[in-house]
Structure 1
């Protein structure tokens, strides 16, 4: 019986010594042996080079947190990751624009001219910034800018005119007072400043785009603002500035100085017996007219403290006690949308209740104000019962969360903190530098022409908006 022939395995026949695959595999193995030596040598050299590189740069990587560490841990570093600090040149203005303003203020009040001290008020940023740039580098903890003494090295030019103090050098004179009414002219000072500035080569070089001005009081530099509007304006709000003069795009919103003492206790509602507190002028102009309406709605309500009072040492003492013992602090608009009362509330851990249809707030790229304040539009606020119903619906747990967030951010509103308000102002100013360079280059290549309307290319966000809860 014939056996069925055994078929050859395709696999075994494929791997016979004479098959093309085996020949190719043999050649590959021989080639790999030849290739192995240079490849191994290259790998060893590469690893040595990598080790040397890491050894050299270890200190830099150890000292510089990553971008994610900065975001997650809230770390601060000088000048950003691997970026040089912004270089600021502060003009050495004639004395009359700096210390001379303080001397004039003291002289008008028969003060001591031998002890020059910037007077306490709600617009102290001009002094703190000036003082900061006059400090030695080792004292300027965490600052994102460095002062340079050579203007040719500067990225930005700071103009240290005490414009807010200049407004109030002459004390208000009672009616019927005999004698000269004007001993100091703020308008003359403003004109003199700009005339001096327009003679400076660095002002003319870039048409003022790289200059920084402080005008924290809403009326500061009012007479000359059109002549300096190209620069970065440091302001408290846009209440009296036109859309072709100021904008969030190019300018920086500053906090007022708080006038009452910072609350030193911890979060909690047990010792805050009042639901809502307000103390201030009842009658104001323009947008502040809502105050009188709120007084009428709230002054006879239980657990509400609402008082009429002007600025004085005694009223500040009463305001401190009231804010430190209340859960919510009312912040209606005054003559302008913002006021120091908002920042008094924050450092008191008293949840601000902001009544406004239009308000700009400082440092909103790092502070989410919805986590620390209640916003109510003016129409809703004056509806009988609306405001109290809203506030009484907010439970203790929610108030504690507001307070915890206020504790996290209140250092941004402390001008005397070495790493507080001033450093944040400089960080905000530094962030404008790319835009400033853009506008300088754009300005130089544009064909000069008569415009029927102002060129608002970089001033597009000073617009009315509505904030609601």
Structure 2
């Protein structure tokens, strides 16, 4: 064979080798692409890392891939944590329903900030008050895995005190793998593992529906239920262990636990304010102030009217003649009625009062939140949902999450004594520039999410923020337990060891 022939054969061999290598590379690449779990998942580079933590969720429930990245639910003082969600179009409806893929194992007691033990009270104390009669297997809880089948809380004025309903639903859903929710609080089944013990009594609904004494009865149903709750708790080892200091008792309506509150005063109360509570029973050191459920619909941030689109300077619509604590409303009405740019009228939830208030607040720059029978009212949270800068005239008011949220960035505070000085309030508000108002308005749009109750809950919404407050409160409960409980805890410990 000639030298030229040998050279040609060598070149052909090299060419074939190169082509074969390229084919192998292409085949390997395609194999990696279509293999869901080969070496590393494809979306691994998309993990979001914040404060040295990350969250990743991959759903296999549908063919289209869903990726959700949630930042930690913890907040630091004066800061708010935001969430980033990346979802394919085919699966956006799944995420909006709060459905999680079966592979997500994040919500367990090991990575929750708060471990909550909840008593299995009979339905008469909670969902039975909504007309729910239990399932076929005599369960005391409804099946919350299907949000569309969860019993509905009644509307109207009942709804503003519905915090009890949202917190209970959230705890129940914390053990349902298919429900996507923040992992701030998780229900545990052993009370010794819990940071806090939750008492699922819908006390506000009980008061609203059953506080009247009917004929041939000595006590109302509401009174009977409160007595039963007290008897139940005081008989439990969980209550005796710390004298109830680690228990959460829901009493958002100011009249909801008037019978039982003195006997349960060592517990952590979930309240709207301290207006009708002696300091020995409720105070800011041990209890949690939570938002009302606002009545008006939240305005979308992108379509929220700005300064020029809100022709009314000052807005108030509600009850004007109140008891001693709310006498200031009548004084302000007499001062402000007839003033240019002021809407100050009587109003109620009846006769389309809520829709009228929604239109009025959305057309106003400033919304007055004036003390009534109690220091707080739902009106503040309606204003926040309407992106109407709240003007708070209530010297004794306590505000939700105030240890991490600076209300002075989006509210105007006026002392009651100053507000009734002729001309003071209007001169103050008229002196606020468009630039300053817009700064507060932008802040309102950012933080409205913190006052939204919803099921399933979302990172840093009202439910999640409440659990965060509780987590901060209970961190020192056990170390601060009074000395008199040492002996009782010792006896309980020895009793349990003998079993």
Q: Please confirm whether the aligned pair reaches a TM-score higher than 0.5, indicating the same fold.
A: yes
Q: Which residue of the other structure, out of 232, 239, 249, is the alignment partner of 2:285? A: 249
- 2:261 is the counterpart of 1:225: yes
In 2, the alpha carbon distance for the partners of 1:345 and 1:164 equals: 23
In 2, the alpha carbon distance for the partners of 1:97 and 1:270 equals: 49
In 1, the alpha carbon distance for the partners of 2:212 and 2:360 equals: 29
Note the C-alpha offset of 1:445. Answer: 4.5
Note the C-alpha offset of 1:228. Answer: 1.3
- Which secondary structure does the structure 1 equivalent of 2:478 belong to? helix
- 2:352 is the counterpart of 1:314: yes
- The aligned residue for residue 114 of structure 2 is 86
Note the C-alpha offset of 1:430. Answer: 0.9
Note the C-alpha offset of 1:137. Answer: 4.7
- The aligned residue for residue 96 of structure 2 is none
- Cα 1:89–1:305 shift into 2, 3 Å: same
- 2:489 is the counterpart of 1:437: no
- Cα 1:204–1:375 shift into 2, 3 Å: same
- The aligned residue for residue 236 of structure 1 is 272
- The aligned residue for residue 100 of structure 1 is 128
- Cα 1:138–1:429 shift into 2, 3 Å: farther
Note the C-alpha offset of 1:117. Answer: 2.6
- Which secondary structure does the structure 2 equivalent of 1:237 belong to? coil
In 1, the alpha carbon distance for the partners of 2:395 and 2:216 equals: 42
Structure 1 residues 302-355: Cα deviation after superposition (integer angstroms, max 9, x where no partner): 111111012225011110000000000011101000000000001111011111
- Cα 1:125–1:314 shift into 2, 3 Å: same
Q: Is the 8 A contact 1:287 1:336 kept in 2?
A: yes
Moved >6 Å (runs of 4+): 76-79, 178-183
Q: Is the 8 A contact 2:211 2:223 kept in 1?
A: no
- 2:450 is the counterpart of 1:412: yes
Note the C-alpha offset of 1:366. Answer: 2.0
- 2:216 is the counterpart of 1:191: no
In 2, the alpha carbon distance for the partners of 1:92 and 1:172 equals: 27
- 2:401 is the counterpart of 1:363: yes
- Cα 1:85–1:170 shift into 2, 3 Å: closer
- Cα 1:172–1:207 shift into 2, 3 Å: closer
Note the C-alpha offset of 1:116. Answer: 4.5
Q: Which residue of the other structure, out of 265, 273, 287, is the alignment partner of 2:311? A: 273
- Which secondary structure does the structure 2 equivalent of 1:301 belong to? coil
- The aligned residue for residue 497 of structure 2 is none
- Cα 1:172–1:223 shift into 2, 3 Å: closer
Q: Which residue of the other structure, out of 139, 143, 148, is the alignment partner of 2:179? A: 139
For the pair shown, which has the larger CA radius of gyration, 1 or 2? 1
- 2:240 is the counterpart of 1:204: yes
- Which secondary structure does the structure 1 equivalent of 2:282 belong to? coil
- Cα 1:145–1:199 shift into 2, 3 Å: same
Note the C-alpha offset of 1:442. Answer: 4.1
Q: Which residue of the other structure, out of 205, 224, 227, is the alignment partner of 1:165? A: 205
Pairwise mapping of residues 336-355 of structure 1 onto structure 2 (< 5 A)? 336-355=374-393
Stretches of structure 2 that go unaligned for 5 or more consecutive residues are: 1-43, 54-71, 84-105, 133-148, 489-499
Note the C-alpha offset of 1:74. Answer: 4.0
Q: Is the 8 A contact 2:242 2:478 kept in 1?
A: no
Note the C-alpha offset of 1:75. Answer: 3.5
Note the C-alpha offset of 1:153. Answer: 2.4
Q: Is the 8 A contact 2:211 2:221 kept in 1?
A: no
In 2, the alpha carbon distance for the partners of 1:340 and 1:383 equals: 26
In 1, the alpha carbon distance for the partners of 2:471 and 2:380 equals: 26
Q: Is the 8 A contact 2:401 2:469 kept in 1?
A: yes
In 2, the alpha carbon distance for the partners of 1:218 and 1:387 equals: 29
- Cα 1:433–1:115 shift into 2, 3 Å: closer
In 2, the alpha carbon distance for the partners of 1:267 and 1:310 equals: 24
Structure 1 residues 179-210: Cα deviation after superposition (integer angstroms, max 9, x where no partner): 77989421121111111122222112221111
- Normalising by structure 1, we get a TM-score of 0.73
In 1, the alpha carbon distance for the partners of 2:51 and 2:395 equals: 40
- Which secondary structure does the structure 1 equivalent of 2:209 belong to? coil
In 2, the alpha carbon distance for the partners of 1:203 and 1:235 equals: 20
Pairwise mapping of residues 359-438 of structure 1 onto structure 2 (< 5 A)? 359-416=397-454, 418-419=458-459, 420-438=461-479
Q: Is the 8 A contact 2:212 2:220 kept in 1?
A: no
Q: Is the 8 A contact 2:305 2:362 kept in 1?
A: no
Number of residue pairs matched? 374
Stretches of structure 1 that go unaligned for 5 or more consecutive residues are: 1-57, 105-113, 448-469
- Which secondary structure does the structure 2 equivalent of 1:204 belong to? helix
Q: What is the root-mean-square deviation in Å for CA atoms of aligned residues? A: 3.1
Q: Which residue of the other structure, out of 148, 154, 178, is the alignment partner of 2:194? A: 154
Note the C-alpha offset of 1:142. Answer: 2.1
Note the C-alpha offset of 1:170. Answer: 4.1
- Normalising by structure 2, we get a TM-score of 0.69
Note the C-alpha offset of 1:277. Answer: 0.6
- Cα 1:430–1:76 shift into 2, 3 Å: farther
